[in-house]
Amino acid sequence: MSTADIIEPRTDEPLSEQLRDEIRALGEHEAHPRAACIAALQRVQEEYRWVSDAHLREVAPLLGMSPADLDGVATYFNLIFRRPVGRRVLLLCDSVTCWLMQRERLEAHLRHRLGIVPGQTTPDGDITLLPTVCLGHCDHAPAMMLDNELYGDLDEQRMDAIIDGTAKAMP
Amino acid sequence: MQRPLTANIRPNAPPPDCAAYERAGGYQAMRRALLQMTPADVVGEVTKSGLRGRGGAGFGTGQKWSFVPKRKPGRRSYLIANADEMEPGTFKDRLLLEGDPHQMIEAVIVSAYAVGATDGYIFVRGEYKLAIARLTQAIGEAHAAGYLGEDILGSGYSLNLHIHASAGRYICGEETALLTALEGRRAQPRNKPPFPQVSGLWGAPSVVNNVETLCNIPHIIANGADWFKSLGRGADGGTKLYGISGRVKRPGTWELPIGTPMREILEEHAGGMQDGYQLRALLPGGASTAFLGADQLDTAMDYGSVEKAGSRLGTGSAIVLDDRSCPVGMICNLEHFFAQESCGWCTPCRDGLPWVERMLRALEDGDGEDEDLHQLQRHVGLLGPGRTFCAHAPGAMAPLESGLRHFRDEFERHVRERHCSWR
């Protein structure tokens, strides 16, 4: 798929009525609606890749929360994105076993290949590179997650193949 | 050798579905507990087994359960499986969650029955996508079989079971922070007392147990406390999931009798060190435990023996430091993690950990001073047990304190030579 084929989500549009209903239902399923706030933010992210201010302001009253309260939760968690991310999010594990297994060399390779540093998105909007807490794949360190797929036993070649879409997850 | 926790798990194979799990003897412990035992009987058997928490703290499970007050009719109460496995170097619970989700569900049902819980949660870290998918499917199957929901097996006991997919924050593994997260708030730890067993989720009685801890419960009920105690090789009962990562030939997870010596785990199961690498030290139980030296490999991996050796069993997941990696760099990586994951609630942790990280980074970059070593040592005390709101910062100080002891010469060399000679 070329980048031209991808329809970009419109974060300036209001949430669909269907998604709003879904979020209400998530809240009703819980003892208190706010307990569904992570699940609700995850749903918004599935649709739009990140949680914009406008969407956050829409979600908050559906769960009986103020926008500031919900923002306090949203910004607390590593996997809720409050800034735009690329079409693919690459989480490179930065924890100790991966460090022992040369993850720094791989990060340098990624920086070179993608032309960005962790926290940034490639200029074409394809990949956002983020550091992440231990992915629990230490027996296959160094490890990374791309688009929710877990990959281990990384070296430069395997990492390139993963980004190019020619490598299998979970070795 | 008996491996009750992993008996149904096959490498690179899908987990058993409900029918396959039942064919292997699954859900029999649940039938026994719900139809033939009172909740007090179940708590009594677990207490007698001596099962201690496998999530890191090692508290007696039966004892923890016994703190739950008598159930009041109409009041909700909760049993929560802590599957927020984010301790660096620890990957044991993923094996159980992905490999045998019905075991997890049966464990929650029996444990929830024992503590009189009306609702159960499995709190899973957001990155464990496969585990979440498999648990979701297994819960559906268990519902269809009548093992969840109203009046399970006609016993009069009802249980709603939910999955909570978290969104990545290490502190959620701390039981009170986990409860705060479940309520949809910033996951900061809470003061104790009151303990969660008395006032937990939404102020209701709540029990939080680690995944591996819970998975032992059906086997204790099926086979008895004495059988469980006989599985261990020392004072503690049962088996333990041990993991090893780093420069070993076969990194992985193994279920072995608790009390198996580290040398046996390292050399027989992990295949020893990779060619060209020597063992220098290891963190025996995850990132928040103290280093054991290569001369301490004969330590039995049980709670008392590891403590006697100067560390903690923790999660039982060892991280190996080899002779070609910089100990200061390794500790710097660990303290970066702890600084990044501080919840920010209390000042010593929020401000102290980044300070520690900066000093270690300076040492690595060749900008360290003699005084820094004194300051690092001082922080070990300032951020140690009793100085902070929860155990996050004291856990962070364990590898630093032991690192300053084991690798003093390396720290001094970084200052003296004004660079890291391992790079």
- Looking at the structure, tell me whether residues B253 and B353 fall in a common domain: no
Which of B231, B248, B266 is the last residue before a domain boundary? B231
Question: Closest chain A residue to B245 measured between Cα atoms?
Answer: A139
**Could you tell me the residue range of the domain that residue B400 belongs to?**
327-417
Are B215 and B244 found together in one domain? no
Q: B286-312: per-residue pLDDT in tens?
A: 999 999 999 999 999 999 999 999 999
- Boundary of a domain, candidates A52, A76, A100: A76
How many structural domains is chain A composed of?
A: 2
Domain membership of residue B142 (yes or no) is yes
State the helix-helix crossing angle for B370-382 and B347-364, rounded to 10 degrees: 150
The total number of structural domains in chain B stands at: 3
Q: What CATH number is associated with residue A25?
A: 1.10.10.1590
Say if residue B1's pLDDT is above 90: no
How close does chain B come to A33, measured CA to CA in Å?
9
pLDDT of residue A66: 98
Domain enclosing residue A67, as ranges: 17-76
Same domain, B261 and B178: no
Query: What is the per-residue pLDDT for B264?
Result: 97
pLDDT tens-place string over residues B257-269: 999 999 999 999 9
With CB atoms and an 8 Å threshold, state whether B337 touches A96: yes
Sites in chain A below the pLDDT cut of 70:
1-6, 169-171
* Phi and psi at residue B209, to the nearest 5°: -130, 145
Per the domain annotation, does A3 fall within a domain? no
Residues in chain A: 171
CATH code at position A118: 3.40.30.10
- Across the interface, do A136 and B86 touch by the CB < 8 Å criterion? yes
**pLDDT for position B312:** 96
| Residue where a domain stops, chosen among B299, B322, B345 | B322
Chain centroid to Cα B239, Å, comes to 15
Please tell me the predicted confidence (pLDDT) of residue A6: 63
Arithmetic mean of pLDDT over chain B: 96
Number of Cβ pairs closer than 8 Å across A and B? 138
Residue of A nearest to B317 (CA): A138
Q: How far is CA B67 from CA A79, B199, B209, B284, in A?
A: 35, 11, 14, 30
Q: Are B358 and B247 in the same domain?
A: no
Confidence (pLDDT) at A1: 45
pLDDT at B372 over 70: yes
Residues A97 and A38 in one domain: no
**CATH code of residue B290:** 3.10.20.600
Q: Which of A25, A51, A76 is the last residue of a domain?
A: A76
For tokens 């009798």, what's the residue? Answer: B257
* A100 and A57 part of one domain: no
A134 carries a ligand binding annotation: yes
Q: For residues B67 and B207, is the Cβ–Cβ distance under 8 A?
A: no
Mutate to test the interface with A, among B160, B185, B277, B400 (most CBs of A within 10 A): B185
Chain B partners of A78 at a C-beta cutoff of 8 Å? 167-169
Taking CA atoms, what residue in B is nearest to A142? Answer: B246
